[in-house]
């Protein structure tokens, strides 16, 4: 089974003058097909853990396994979309996606790959920008090309760091739907691990929400989101379970005063 297993992991950034213990004592098992969101205040180690899952950073202590094999570097089994878009600047949006398609569709005629790239760019709402170079695209558009490229690679695990951070609210909602749609249609479901600052996004998407706390970064709570799927925004926002969970997360992230404030507002 494609389980991701984080075992007593810590990570220390080593500078020339001083070191910084960013993450300590993280234990987490993510099952195949789960959608897990990491949430927590800035600097609590979410991206560091995601980078270790991607194999870009190696744990200082402890280990991380995928399918019971230690992760020692990046791999095609784990697709990534990080905050920096990392597109090839000399290739158009379409060429960036085709390159990813070529890696997993060896020997497939170029015309077919072109068509598939077109469909993927359409899926992320970028069909009209397919001939543009990354420098001609906004940050949000580049992020969407990176998403299309990750979909193209079709890895069993998607690792995403604030993938919808640079896009406006309407596009963000579209991309969230598109991700869940893609996930739910597949028989062998992808495992998705995503860093977000958005509580509503975490509740909408997750099977489980992992809450991090800082100094050093550690997991403070893991919450199962037992709201049935499909989750529509409208019904979600009316659901008492959603309200409870949201209030709980707000309290965890912003402390008691938020809850007091919310109670005050709701009594007005
Ligand atoms: N290259 C680095 N060198 C030294 N310290 C670093 C480095 N990168 C991150 N850190 C520190 O490690 C800690 C964890 O950082 P990380 O980026 O993982 O947090 P985060 O929860 O993802 O933050 P954010 O939500 O702001 O993206 C922070 O205190 C940060 O300042």
Q: Which two tokens stand for residue 114?
A: 């072109």
Q: Give the relative orientation of helices 93-104 and 110-123 as an angle to the nearest 10 degrees.
A: 120
Q: Is 45 in the pocket of ligand 1 (CB under 6 A)?
A: yes
Over pLDDT 90: what percentage of the chain?
Answer: 73
| pLDDT value of position 261 | 54
| pLDDT value of position 89 | 93
Predicted ipTM of the assembly: 0.98
Distances (CA, A) of 220 to 86, 92, 190, 203, 256: 31, 42, 25, 17, 16
Choice from 13, 51, 54 to test ligand 1 binding pocket (greatest atom count within 8 A of CB): 13
- pLDDT band for position 1 (cuts 50, 70, 90): confident
Considering the chain, what is the average pLDDT of its residues? 91
| pLDDT value of position 134 | 94
Centre a 10 Å sphere on the Cβ of residue 106 and count the other Cβ atoms it contains: 6
Q: What mean pLDDT do residues 199-207 have? A: 96
| pLDDT value of position 259 | 55
pLDDT tens, position by position, 183-199: 988 888 999 999 999 99
Distances (CA, A) of 253 to 41, 198, 227, 248: 7, 11, 21, 9
Q: pTM of the full predicted structure?
A: 0.92
- pLDDT band for position 260 (cuts 50, 70, 90): low
59: which residues sit within 8 A by CB, 6+ positions away?
A: 9, 10, 11, 52
Whether the pLDDT of residue 256 is over 70: the answer is: no
Ligand 1 centre distance from Cα of residue 258 (Å): 25
- pLDDT band for position 262 (cuts 50, 70, 90): low
Please state whether beta strands 191-195 and 157-161 pair in parallel, antiparallel, or not at all (unpaired): parallel
Ligand 1 centre distance from Cα of residue 169 (Å): 26
| pLDDT value of position 105 | 92
């Amino acid at each position: 089974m494609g389980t991701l297993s984080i075992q007593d992991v810590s990570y220390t950034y080593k500078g020339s003058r001083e070191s910084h213990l960013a993450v300590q004592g993280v234990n987490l098992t993510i099952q195949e097909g789960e959608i897990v969101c990491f949430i927590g205040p800035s600097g609590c180690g979410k991206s560091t853990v995601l980078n270790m899952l991607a194999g870009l950073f190696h744990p200082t202590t402890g280990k991380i396994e995928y399918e019971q094999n230690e992760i020692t570097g990046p791999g095609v089994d784990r697709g990534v979309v990080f905050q920096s878009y990392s597109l090839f600047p000399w290739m158009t949006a379409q060429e960036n996606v085709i390159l990813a398609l070529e890696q997993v569709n060896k020997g497939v005629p170029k015309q077919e790959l072109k068509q598939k790239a077109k469909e993927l760019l359409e899926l992320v709402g970028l069909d009209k920008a397919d001939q543009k170079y990354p420098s001609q695209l906004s940050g949000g558009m580049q992020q969407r090309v990176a998403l299309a490229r990750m979909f193209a690679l079709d890895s069993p695990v998607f690792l995403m760091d604030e993938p919808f951070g640079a896009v406006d609210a309407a596009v963000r909602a579209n991309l969230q739907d598109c991700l869940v749609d893609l996930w739910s249609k597949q028989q062998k479901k992808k495992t998705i691990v995503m860093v977000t600052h958005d509580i509503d996004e975490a509740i909408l998407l997750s099977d489980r929400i992992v809450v991090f706390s800082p100094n050093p970064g550690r997991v403070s709570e893991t919450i199962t989101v037992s709201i049935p799927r499909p989750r529509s925004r409208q019904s979600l926002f009316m659901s008492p379970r959603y309200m409870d969970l949201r209030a709980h997360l707000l309290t965890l992230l912003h402390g008691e005063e938020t809850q007091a404030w919310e109670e005050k507002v709701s009594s007005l």
